[in-house]
């Protein structure tokens, strides 16, 4: 299944609320849907941003760049493109190396 890359980048948008706060918004949800807000981002200092996640995503709560947050959201929510019908890659099994008494 091919994934339309532009739809992935268009789905999540970074919105600046004020000079020190941003939100990550899911554009596929309605304007009044409370699930639309993915995360709140706050500038802690010049090189650190704190993230408060509204969605249950296994992502960090501290970042060095606001753009890294939205890139991680896109990566974490990207559908698995690997075909589920593939067999696993076989791993060769070998006997243990015998111990030599010395």
Top pLDDT among 93 and 1 is at 93
pLDDT bracket for residue 85 (50, 70, 90):
low
| Structure confidence by residue, pLDDT tens digits, 20-43 | 999 999 999 999 999 999 999 999
Looking at the domain assignment, is residue 70 inside a domain? yes
Looking at the domain assignment, is residue 90 inside a domain? no
Task: Give pLDDT, residue 19.
Answer: 94
Give me the number of domains the chain comprises. 1
Contacts of the segment 34-43: beta carbons below 8 A, 24+ positions apart = 38/12, 38/73, 39/69, 39/73, 41/66, 41/69, 43/19
Mean per-residue pLDDT for 72-81?
85
Phi, psi of 35, rounded to the nearest 5 degrees: -75, -5
Task: Give pLDDT, residue 1.
Answer: 34
Looking at the domain assignment, is residue 82 inside a domain? no
Range of the domain at 70: 5-76
Looking at the domain assignment, is residue 94 inside a domain? no
82, pLDDT greater than 60: no
| Structure confidence by residue, pLDDT tens digits, 41-65 | 999 998 999 999 999 999 999 999 9
Top pLDDT among 43 and 90 is at 43
């Amino acid at each position: 299944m091919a994934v339309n890359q532009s739809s992935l980048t268009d789905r999540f948008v970074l919105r600046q609320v004020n000079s020190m706060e941003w939100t990550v918004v899911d554009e596929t949800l309605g304007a009044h849907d409370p699930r639309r807000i993915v995360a709140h981002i706050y500038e802690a200092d010049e090189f650190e941003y704190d993230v408060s996640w509204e969605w249950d995503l296994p992502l960090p709560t501290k970042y060095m760049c606001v753009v890294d947050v939205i890139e991680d959201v896109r990566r974490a929510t990207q559908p698995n493109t690997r075909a589920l019908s593939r067999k696993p890659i076989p791993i060769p099994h070998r006997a243990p190396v015998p111990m030599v008494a010395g």
